[in-house]
Chains A and B, each alone.
Chain A
Amino acid sequence: MAGLGETLGRAATWPFTLMARAVDPPLRVWQRWTGTGGMAAVFLAPNLAIFGVFVLIPLVLNFVYSMTGGTGILLDQRPFIGMEQYGRLLECEDYTRRITCREDQFWTAVTNTAGFVIFQVTLMVVVSLITALILNRNIRGRGFFRAVFFFPVLLSPVVVGLIWRWILQREGLLNLIAVNLGLEPEIWLNDRFYAFAATIGVSTWAHMGFYTLILLAGLQAIPRDLYEAAEMDATPPSRVFRRITLPLLGPNFAVVLVLALIRSVQIFDEVYVLTGGGPGTSTLYLTQYIYEVGFASILRNPGLAAAASILMGAVLVVLTLLQLWLSRRAEGRRAR
């Protein structure tokens, strides 16, 4: 029986083994010719080629698109118009009133996203931190509960969106609960406020398990003897939390905060399936704006979408640099 698994495994990898054998002789010739340095190039080539074509070239092209006009996607159909697209995005007659902006949809998306980011990241960090602190206690079945909170992280955003659309619809589970509590049933996603709250709640539900894991890892790295020493001195728990837990969790906490910010700014998938940006434009966020301007609307404007994505990218670059700096600092502290 033990041989069976091995045979099956060999049968499954057999095409790859054959492939690897076939490329060996030509690579040997290449190696003799260029030395091991040339082999490094061979190993790097596929990944770098894909990087180059699908990340680096688009990155450069993005600027070109943002400075050209027209509705065509091919570059030779697009006249150069300079900073016109950025002007269109950012120009308002009266900056206190969104409606006077040339591209008021963009400003709607920006303000919606800002509101979403503030509330969602706060909720996310608070809920993840509480869960991590609880999982860090001396409880039975910690592994099980850790898995419980992680479960929605694996679900696809489309599934998440549909699960909650189903619960929030008129004949849904939430209305069943509402009626049993003596409240009026609602069509939750048709209400501007509830729809906005739902996007925050649902995205927190879907991702909090991920941040909980990072925070829990940080908590478990705090040496036990610190707590024991505090217990001996009869330090009150609130003081232990403020003086030991928070400072030592600091680096992980910062990483979580910035990661949550980066992902919150780009929110699209689950919200698009849940509310489609509605009702009206009350849950229209930046990525959906870019998607609609660039691809989905009839009067599509790739240049405008590119300009908007560059503005969003600038925010993300700042946040990512912050994250890299923070996680390097966290690593340094762990090493010490």
Chain B
Amino acid sequence: MSRILAFIFRRRGHGGGWHWTDIATWIWLIGGTILMFGPALWLVASSFKGPAQLAEFPPTLLPYVQQTAMVEGYDAPLPLYTATQEDGSTKVLAEIRRIGVNSQMVDPGNPDERINVNIADRSPVREIGLATGNYAEPLVKNNFLRFLWNSVFVTVMATLITLFTNSMAAFALSKYRFRGRDGVMLLIVATLMVPLSVILVPLYSVVNAMGLLNSLWGVILPTVATPTGVFLLRQYMLTIPDELLEAARMDHASEWQIYWRIVLPLAAPALAVLAIFSVVWRWNDFLWPLIVLSQREHYTLQVGLNTYAGELNVQWHYILAMTVVTMIPVILVFLFLQRFITTGIAGAGIK
């Protein structure tokens, strides 16, 4: 064990004692790990708690569910409580109904006799368990399955179109000489300066004029011509040797075939990076879908979540579970593809 610890906490100097910077380093790293993962883990743990448990203070770390029992003579399972009786002893009873401050209870072993207990004298019997209804109910009842489908549709379509249009433009800009090429490049650079939040009103009017309000295409199309994507792909395609293209032309390949059969497969690594970025971007988009989509059946997950979380009486048990669902694709990307993204950012400084 101590050797493992020595290995993990390898220090700065060669041998010798701990320098104060080593201690500070590890405090920062471990504290950072807790701070970065903790909130999301807390969300996941909370999402499995029932509504009553969520309203409790202090909150418990793990999710519990109240135990229930089938009692003879009752159709539905009854919740179990530990009731303190007058003589101070405790007994596990099942609650039939609550009347004011009194609870009408029954002994599961002796179902004929009813007992009245003050609600202050009873506490629920609980065991660790998952309130999976938090997930199932909103998906079925509250349209969340629909929102999920809309989000998937937007993400997949936008990513496909982004890959196609951006790679074609990047091909033209990296492999052809034509008049106005620098002008086009400059134009694309210039659009970097126009984030969506600056053109909300006129963009809305354009989308409105095209009849795309309350349509998922109204969400998809304005986002697909990303300047970052064109840049990333162009930089990569510049490294593909022109001789390859010339050889193909000798063999009477058309320009389209050169793009499709030679350049695209060779640019696969850059396309993969752009695809990952695009999936994360489009899945997380919020402001623009919020403006374009005003009918519930067209909401994406992000907009739907915001709407339900903005209600006067927030149903946190549903919101938390659906937030976890919204996180899933991003967590998958994090677990399996994080390396591509971090090297992409470190290399090109894109986001």
Contact = CB atoms under 8 A, between A and B. Distances in A.
Contacts of A61: 202, 205-206
A149 B36 contact: yes
Interface residues of B, number: 96
Contacts of A214: 345-346, 349
A46 B224 CA distance: 10
A171 B46 CA distance: 12
A137 interface: yes
Q: Which of A163, A167, A324 has the most CB of B within 10 A?
A: A163
Chain A contact residues: helix, strand, loop or mixed: helix
B284 interface: yes
A148 B57 CA distance: 30
Contact of B36 (A20, A148, A255): A148
Contacts of A213: 342, 345-346
A73 B326 contact: no
Contact of B326 (A156, A166, A217): A156
B278 interface: no
Contact of A316 (B193, B334, B338): B193
B345 A36 contact: no
Interface residues of A, number: 102
B221 A54 contact: yes
B58 A176 contact: yes
Contact of A31 (B10, B168, B255, B334): B255
Contact of A320 (B55, B193, B306): B193
A179 B203 CA distance: 49
Contact of B206 (A57, A137, A155): A57
Interface string B212-244: 000000000110110000100000000000000
A47 B168 contact: yes
B169 interface: yes
Contact of A139 (B10, B165, B169): B10
Nearest to A301: B201
A20 B254 CA distance: 12
Interface string A53-78: 11111111110110000000111000
A223 to B, nearest CB: 17
Nearest to A37: B178
Given A131-B28, A167-B39, A176-B58, A59 B326 contact: no
B74 interface: no
B168 A170 contact: no
A175 interface: yes
Interface of B: 7-10, 12, 25, 28-29, 32-33, 35-37, 39-40, 42-43, 46, 54-59, 164-166, 168-169, 171-173, 176, 178, 181, 184, 187-189, 191-195, 197-208, 210, 221-222, 224-225, 230, 254-257, 259-260, 280, 283-284, 286-287, 291, 302, 305-306, 309-310, 316, 319-320, 323, 326-327, 330, 333-334, 338, 341-342, 345-347, 349, 351
Enumerate the 5 nearest inter-chain pairs by beta-carbon distance, A residue then B residue, closest first: A61-B202, A156-B284, A47-B169, A43-B172, A58-B202
Interface of A: 20, 23-24, 27-28, 31, 36-37, 39-41, 43-44, 46-48, 50-51, 53-62, 64-65, 73-75, 130-131, 134, 137-141, 145-152, 154-159, 162-167, 170-173, 175-176, 179, 185, 205, 209-210, 213-214, 216-217, 255, 259, 266, 268-269, 272-273, 276, 287, 290-291, 294-295, 302, 305-306, 309-310, 312-313, 316-317, 320-321, 324, 327
